[in-house]
Structure 1
Amino acid sequence: MTRAQGQLAFTEEDSRDIALREYGLDPSFDSPLLPNAAVLSSLQNLVRLATELCGAPFGVVNIISAEYQHQIGAWGVEPGICSREDSMCAKVFLSREKTVVADASLDPRFADNPFVTGEIGKVRFYASVPLQTDSGFVPGTLCVFSDMPKELRPEQVGMLEVLAKQAVELLELQHRTTQLDRTYAELKESNAKLAGFAGRVSHDLRIPLTTILGYVELVEDDPDVQPGTVAAKYLDKIGASGRRMLAMLEDVLSYSRVGGGIQPTYVSLKEAAGEVVRDLGIENDGLVEVHDVTVYADPGQLRTLLQNLLTNAMNYRSPDRELHVRISGVSNYHGATIHVADNGKGIAPEDRAKVLEPLVRLRRPGDGAGTGLGLSTCSTIAKAHGGELTLFETPGGGLTVAVTFPAGS
């Protein structure tokens, strides 16, 4: 073998182990390689069905790594591990064709194999089907065997192939679960870094901005600056712009903190909404109507969500009617859904997806001040709890925000 050929062989085997890790099957250690509990249980049931259909006492799903054969989902035998060199399936699985042998001791491919000679076992009847994914990768085989010679009918072989496809589906399920877990972990880490960055930037910018606004207020109080003069107008514009920027920094800082380290408990929606109403200084008893429901949520983040939604309702009220907001909820064994319904301007269906993105505002005539982070913050809070936020029209006009919170464990 040339050096180049040796390097190619190493690369192919290394790629096989990398692919197995993508399926959550780590072949690094000389120990039984097992899928997650749900997949393992399903594989065991599938192998049992395969042995009964074929009339064979033993069956396994083999995962073949660069160095080993790992038996998983075994029936009739204890799952174990052997070297790939000793494996019967390793000799044929890359052909991607089924192998059915009535007596392995008479087949030149297997006659001297330790599973046949008696060194490890005395296999006679042997049948295996490669487990081939849609991408062409073959992680191993579905194998049934016996210590007595045996023939299979064509329909039995066909059923074995069907069961092999089902085994592939189970491994693909674990593959997708592994990918989702990895993506979730990476997203969580990325969000944490982004939140930290946003918090530091907001904090660092807030200090000089606060200083600037302080000097603006000092100059505004100077008796030499007369109201109505050009200087006074410039100061008004600087102060207004600075306060808007400071409000945006506060919103960014708040947004960077939501979703992390939530500590859910059972919270009264009526009590949480009452605290928000008092914080916002809403004195009109008829403006906000609250109906109680118990929500399993982080109390602080629930208040932040309600505060953002009530602030939005006040900022985007309709000029044609007096504002009214109804906060209510429903609950069942799945959890609770709260509804914050107003009779304001509402949001057109084509705009409802984009307003949930950070820093997006519709900028309609007559809209109140805002940074475009309110609904995005609420959506983030909902997702952090394992729920979701949905927007739809209030009957008669306005916007209803529905937020789901799963039940407590």
Structure 2
Amino acid sequence: MTEVRGQLSFTDDVSRDQELLEYGLDPGADSTLLPNASVMSALQNLVRLATELCGAPFGVVNIVSAEYQHQIGAWGVEPGVCSREDSMCAKVFLSRERTVVADASLDPRFADNPFVTGEIGNVRFYASVPLQTESGFVPGTLCVFSDNTKELRPEQVSMLEVLAKQVVELLELQHRTVQLDRTYAELKDSNAKLAGFAGRVSHDLRIPLTTILGYVELVEDDPDVEPNSTAAQYLDRIGSSGRRMLGMLEDVLSYSRVGGGIQPAPLSLRDVAEEVARDLGIEDHDIVEVQDLTVHADRGQLRTLLQNLVSNAMNYRSPERSLRVRVSGISNYHGSTVYVADNGKGINPEDRAKCLEPLVRLRREGDGPGSGLGLATCSSIAKAHGGELTLKETSGGGTTVAVSFPAGL
């Protein structure tokens, strides 16, 4: 359909209304509250300033939809909605040029307009500046007008253009707010689905794990098992790791239920890292060297992060040298940064960003098994704490992962 209404085709009209909705501006005729209240108040102040600078009694911010003109900020008049066909601004706003008319009744573009003829108003002086966003979209105009004829000085026109840019900044702020609200709604939906998934997985894993722990306890109580024997030590390790895994399942379930909420507290980096090393069967302190540091973080999340990073170091060790992992950190009033440095194969600079994406593996010869979720999980944990994760090369070869934790989260 190519029927033209004003300066837009039917197809453009549909696109225009969709774009206005992206800015939180309802193009419908019954819409009386378009932007949020704080934006409307700021718009009114800008319109007032525009009228005072131009010496005009009336001013409005007009948003032009496919069918209507909405006055979302006004001074000297009550904001309202009129047909787009009756709008003066709708005739010129897509030109992207300012329009200044001393007497609209003498201008062929406006002489028969109801705002000029007396049917709606008696506009004589009229000046408008299109509101153009960085993307090139023009939602409407900043307009000042009067019942009397008037001329504007060049500096007044320049100031009107400056104020129009400020109006655009407010609309962009509203645009970003709408995007954030939409993202937040999607995140809540995603977290709800995650909670259901985590609940099912937790239930399915808890049953066999509880069964294993039950048998471990039965064997530990068996009088035929010597307390200090190798078998007793193995049983103790299995029981310790199993109970910790059971606790981790509960942490995952709790984390998903609160929408990604965490419970940070001052933690000993050494205690958590040594716990992770034991879980992974690493007893040689020459393999995993740990520097102590107080980190303000969620214990379960920090343990998961370190376990993933140390596991990665084991999976991607270099065949040319014995594995070494150093867990260290620094802290100041901003917070702390934890470093996990290995001497493994390393990650090429061009692959580092890709490795932080879910389900991405480099699949190099000799690499150990993995799902491609380890670094992505660690990056998410860092973001949940308000920090970030970065990758760089270890001096002498390997990968150093730096994770920042802000203070007092």
Would the TM-score normalized by the shorter structure come out above 0.5?
yes
**TM category, shorter:** 0.5 to 0.7
Which residue does the alignment assign to 2:260? Answer: 262
Measure the CA separation in 1 of the matches of 2:194 and 2:262.
23
Aligned partner of 1:290 in structure 2 is 291
- Aligned letter for 1:301? Q
Shift of residue 393, structure 1, vs aligned partner? 1.9
**Offset of residue 142 of structure 1:** 0.7
Alignment CA distance shift 1:40-1:305 (3 Å) = farther
Pairing 1:6-405 to 2, within 5 Å after superposition: 13-28=13-28, 29-34=30-35, 37=38, 43=43, 46-74=46-74, 76-77=75-76, 80-84=79-83, 87-94=87-94, 96-104=96-104, 109=110, 113=114, 117=118, 124-133=124-133, 137-146=137-146, 148-168=148-168, 170-172=170-172, 174-175=174-175, 178-179=178-179, 182=182, 185-186=185-186, 189=189, 260=256, 261-270=259-268, 271-285=271-285, 287-295=288-296, 297-317=297-317, 320-321=321-322, 323-333=324-334, 336-357=336-357, 358-365=359-366, 367-405=367-405
Report the equivalent of 2:231: none
1:29-51 superposed Cα distances (whole Å, 9 cap, x missing partner): 431311584x6576456545533
- Which segment drifts farther, 166-175 or 297-306? 166-175
How far residue 391 of structure 1 moved from its aligned partner, in angstroms, is 0.8
TM-score (norm 2): 0.67
Look up the equivalent residue of 1:288 and give its one-letter code.
E
- Conserved? CA contact 1:89–1:128, under 8 Å: yes
Q: For residues 179 and 99 of structure 1, what CA distance do their matches in structure 2 show? A: 32
- Counterpart secondary structure, 1:305: helix
The alignment yields a C-alpha RMSD, in angstroms, of 4.6
Instruction: State the Cα distance separating 1:313 from its structure 2 match.
Output: 2.8
Structure 1 gap ranges (5+): 208-252
Give, in whole Å, the separation in 2 of the partners of 1:384 and 1:274.
23
Instruction: Name which of structure 1's ranges 132-141 and 387-396 shifts more when overlaid on structure 2.
Output: 132-141
Structure 1: distance between partners of 2:267 and 2:73: 48
Q: How many residues align?
A: 357
Task: Give me the whole-angstrom Cα distance separating, in 2, the residues matched to 1:300 and 1:16.
Answer: 48
Distance 1:267 1:316, change over 3 A: farther
Instruction: Name 2:215's counterpart in structure 1.
Output: none
Q: 1:80 is matched by which residue type in structure 2?
A: P
Which residue type is aligned with residue 374 of structure 2? G
Secondary structure in structure 2 of the residue aligned to 1:300 = helix
| Equivalent residue letter for 1:273 | A
Cα distance, 1:106 vs. partner? 6.6
Distance 1:351 1:129 in 2: 48
Distance 2:275 2:76 in 1: 63
2:191·2:260 contact (CA, 8 Å) conserved in 1? no
User: 1: CA distance between counterparts of 2:406 and 2:59?
Assistant: 41
TM-score normalized by the length of structure 1: 0.67
Distance 1:81 1:332, change over 3 A: farther
Kindly state the Cα deviation for residue 54 of structure 1 after the two structures are TM-superposed.
2.3
